[in-house]
Structure 1
Amino acid sequence: MRILLWHVHGSWTTAFVQGPHTYLVPVTPGRGPDGLGRAVTFDWPASVIEMSPDQLRDTDIDLVVLQRPHELDLARRWLGRRPGTDIPAVYLEHNAPGGSVPDTRHPAAGHRGLTIVHVTYFNQLFWDCAGTPTTVIEHGIVDPGPQWTGHRERAAVVVNEPLRRGRTTGTDLLARFARAAPLDVFGMRTHGIAHHLGLPEERCHARELVQNELHRAMAACRMYLHPVRWTSLGLSLLEAMHLGMPVVALATTEVVEAVPPEAGVVSNRPDVLLDAVRGFIAEPGRAREAGRAARTAALARYGLPRFLDDWDRLIKEVTR
């Protein structure tokens, strides 16, 4: 199969392109948001091929994977074909709904020729898709291996743009957690977060790393902290579990399904979460056991083979 998709979410796409198909990613002059082409910081196979809009128009394509509302029109203009009508298409929804939850109407609602693919059952439940067919294919992770050492008595946090996203990502909670354990905050545009929170750098150190370096740095921390209030299920959380890290997380969106009790502590009570952070920092043996359970759970539910099998089943269904 030749599958067209835009390079939107690097981590998710890295898992998706491990399948047996040919993956066409648009590339434009300047490599803007609609034409990023192949990833630079992720390891993608040779089956991911860059194509310009002009090349795409003359290319046989078996399936279009849409991920943003404007891609419906973009595909019509670039391909000369209508997704879901002239060419099979699915709309992959990465995010939980925003705005007037739970009444948020999905941008692909009403497009009967499409199937909306949600990455969590929570998202499927909360988006109003107005009769458009939906399914769920949960995340899959390219296994980074059990890298946890936990020799650094710090909590790892992975969040992109924490200053802009604020309460959504639980940025305001980090000062409280930093009193329980020093934090290593990884992600894009994290610079200045310690100053923003009124913390010394030692208590809240920000770093932006490429994927392989990120995994090693995360795994050196004693535990993984997930303070996010509202988002889809974070791939960084699942990567931390694959690394063998114990988890402390807010009991929001899909987290309660992803993290079993033996893998860490999930709660909406700040006192419970703070005690859990202190406990894992003080007891490396307990952290090790919880991390092992986290890895076992992540491999069972979010392993790459299951993810690719689920996608292959859906691809065959919508292209037959």
Structure 2
Amino acid sequence: MTGYASAQLEAAGPDRTAPSLGLELRSVNSRFLDLALRLPEDLRMHEPALRALLSAGLRRGKVELRAHVEMEDGARLTEPPVQLLEQVARVQQAVRAVLPDAAPFRMVDVLRLGAGAGASRQDLGPALLALARRALDELSEARAREGARLAQMLRERVQQLRSLAEQAGPLVPQLVQQQRERFLERWREAMQLAEGAAVPEAAQERALTEATAYAIRIDVAEELTRLVAHLDEIERLLARGGEVGKRLDFLIQELHREANTLGSKSATMELTRIGVDMKVLIEQMREQVQNLE
């Protein structure tokens, strides 16, 4: 299921020296859960915790999480503490005592050290997870709204399939009766041409046997019964809610199998049309069911 969510944590403190965090979650359709995390180097250590959080809250979808950390301009230009400057000077003297040709520290290096001392990014773990939970809740709400729309679409397709099944039901007995009469008529014509006499009783029995065998071959009552049972189960799952995507996926496969059998047994254009219409509806359902959790 698709969805988008974002969360921000602005820089805090009177001098706004703390970093600001930003996080985005994107989700697109997928039959399985596929997580992709895009984190800056200083936040990579929190990737296992983020994966565990997302895996606990999501079951399906290709989900991408992006996070970024920004320091406020004021924080970048904050004067480094005197103790830090003294420590840098001592370190530089120690290094040059061993390596006289070593380049001295640059101002940008000292400022970066000062910013790092003022706000360690290793302390961003709790804030990052809190942002991820907030974004996950927002994403789940968006996916729930989409799920409600998909469920309504599935209910509409179920009703259309029921209507087609009701249309197909009366056609089979009529077709069987027509075929019985047609078989008998052909046998009578054949026997009259061959012997010029009335059709023998044995020949008539054979014609009825052939008509019965044909009726069995074209009877789709069993397929229609199973199809309706699958539709009942789909409606029950939609009403229950929860994680029903994989169960619905299986039921859609069963619907497709029954529609294929009905089409292969079709003996009239009307049944063929009904079978084709059923397959179109079932395929529409299959595409959407793969998006549901």
TM-score in terms of structure 1 length: 0.20
TM-score (structure 2 length as normaliser): 0.21
Max Rg structure: 2
Task: Name the structure with the higher helix share.
Answer: 2
The higher-RCO structure (CA 8 Å, 6+ apart) is 2
Higher normalized strand content (fraction of residues): 1
